[in-house]
Amino acid sequence: MVVSSDLIIQVMIWGLYAGCIYILLATGLNLIFGVMKIVNFAHGELLMLGAYITFTFYAVSGFNPYVLLAASLPILILIGVIIERTCFRPILGTGKLNEIFISIGLIYIIQNAAAMIWSDEWRTIHSPFEHITLKIFGVNLPLDYLIIVITTISILIILFLFMQRTRLGKAMRATSQNRKGAMLMGINVERMDMLAFGIGAGLAGAAGTLWVVSGQVFNPYMGSIPAVKAFAIVIIGGLGSIPGAIIGGLIYGIAENFAILTLGGAWKDAISFIILILVLIVRPTGIFGESAE
């Protein structure tokens, strides 16, 4: 096989696009982990719900699906808050395995409830730009990919400004740095938990919407694999580190697409875990994580 520089740039673009989805998921997971010190393994199910809610709006109204993101986001945030309040708060501090187990319960509930509501057949959303491809320096760049990258960057900038400039964002950062200290300073840490989970769910929902608008087919079981990959990215980037999540997400997206090119499509899912295992053998706390315990 001839590997030309054009092909490499093309794969990089695919990787960048896949990386955006992973970054949104991983950032949400990291935000939740930072504040609550729990891992939500059912994060992929929120991605799936985001996709389906946008799909429903799209089927009803026929608007541009990118615009509908603004409508499905608040619903996802609300779902996130409800999940935090009913499932994760009662088990907070009861052992790390419990959150994994409760996530398994959530995965079963959400996946199959979605299958009952929307049936389990494969669905698609057609982007109004699906036939527009920009040609830059001899490589094909679908317009959808460009919109997704820009949307992801804007979401991350808004999140950054929220965390750095607003009182609420500062309170959230304080909670993730020192929960007891934040409590003593009069911060309602339980409200911060709800907020973090809500934002995390919103980011997952945005990832789901962008994923399906770009032409991916989806069904109620589509969320699990992207979610475990996002979790692997979180581990590689270091638990609780948002810059780590962004860099990890990019590396991941690109590595995955190169693996498909060289090893074949069957390795798409397995390669991510091979990367994860290699990283954990060398550095048991992740690349950017100082200490996970």
Query: Rounded to 10 degrees, what is the CA torsion of 264, 270, 276, 108?
Result: 140
Q: For residue 284, state whether it binds other proteins (rule: CB under 8 A).
A: yes
Rounded least distance, CB 235 to other proteins, Å: 6
Which region, judged by CB under 8 A, interacts with other proteins, from 173-181, 188-196, 211-219, 273-281?
Answer: 273-281
**81-110 footprint of other proteins as x/- string (CB under 8 A):** ------x--xx--x-xxx-xxx-xxxxxx-
Interface with other proteins in residues 131-170 (CB under 8 A): none
Tell me the closest approach of the beta carbon of residue 267 to other proteins, in angstroms.
6
- For 120, 236, 255, 292, the CA distances from 282, given in Å and listed in that order, are 41, 11, 18, 15
Dihedral sign for Cα 280, 40, 27, 147, please: positive
What are 224's two structure tokens?
Answer: 């699990």
- Contact flag: residue 10 with other proteins (CB under 8 A): no
Beta bridge partners of 123: 218
The answer to the question of residue 267 lying near other proteins (CB under 8 A) is: yes
Q: Residue 180 corresponds to which tokens in the numbers above?
A: 């007891």
Grouping H, G, I as helix, E, B as strand and the rest as coil, residue 140 is: strand
Closest of 60, 99, 47, 88 to residue 224, by C-alpha: 47
- The distance of closest approach from Cβ of residue 79 to other proteins in the complex, given in angstroms and rounded to an integer, is 15
CA distance 125 to 105: 29
Minimum CB separation of residue 258 from other proteins in Å reads: 16
Q: Does 25 bind other proteins (CB under 8 A)?
A: no
Phi and psi dihedrals of 142, rounded to 5?
A: -60, 140
Least distance from other proteins to the Cβ atom of residue 36, Å: 13
Kindly report the backbone phi and psi dihedral angles of residue 218, in degrees, each rounded to the nearest multiple of 5, phi listed first. -145, 155
- Tell me which residues in 174-233 interact with other proteins (CB under 8 A): 224, 228, 231-232
47 near other proteins, rule: CB under 8 A: no
- Determine the interface stretch with other proteins among 61-69, 132-140, 190-198, 268-276 (rule: CB under 8 A): 268-276
Burial class of residue 97 in the structure, from the number of CB atoms within 10 Å of its CB (0-12 exposed, 13-18 middle, 19+ buried): exposed
Which one, 50 or 286, has the nearer CB to other proteins? 286
Please count the residues of this chain forming the interface with other proteins, following the rule CB under 8 A. 45
Q: Rounded to 10 degrees, what is the CA torsion of 117, 121, 125, 126?
A: -150
**Per-residue interface string for the shown chain with other proteins, residues 227-256, x marking contact by CB under 8 A:** -x--xx--x---x-----------------
- Candidates 13-21, 47-55, 113-121, 144-152: pick the segment binding other proteins (CB under 8 A): 113-121
Q: Residue type for 149, please?
A: V
User: Are the CB atoms for 188 and 35 separated by under 8 Å?
Assistant: no
Candidates 48-56, 111-119, 135-143, 154-162: pick the segment binding other proteins (CB under 8 A).
111-119
* Alpha helix positions (H), 119-177: 143-165, 167-177
Q: What is the binding site for other proteins (CB under 8 A)?
A: 39, 41, 87, 90-91, 94, 96-98, 100-102, 104-109, 111-113, 115-116, 120, 224, 228, 231-232, 235, 239, 264, 266-267, 269-270, 272-274, 276-277, 280-281, 284, 292-293
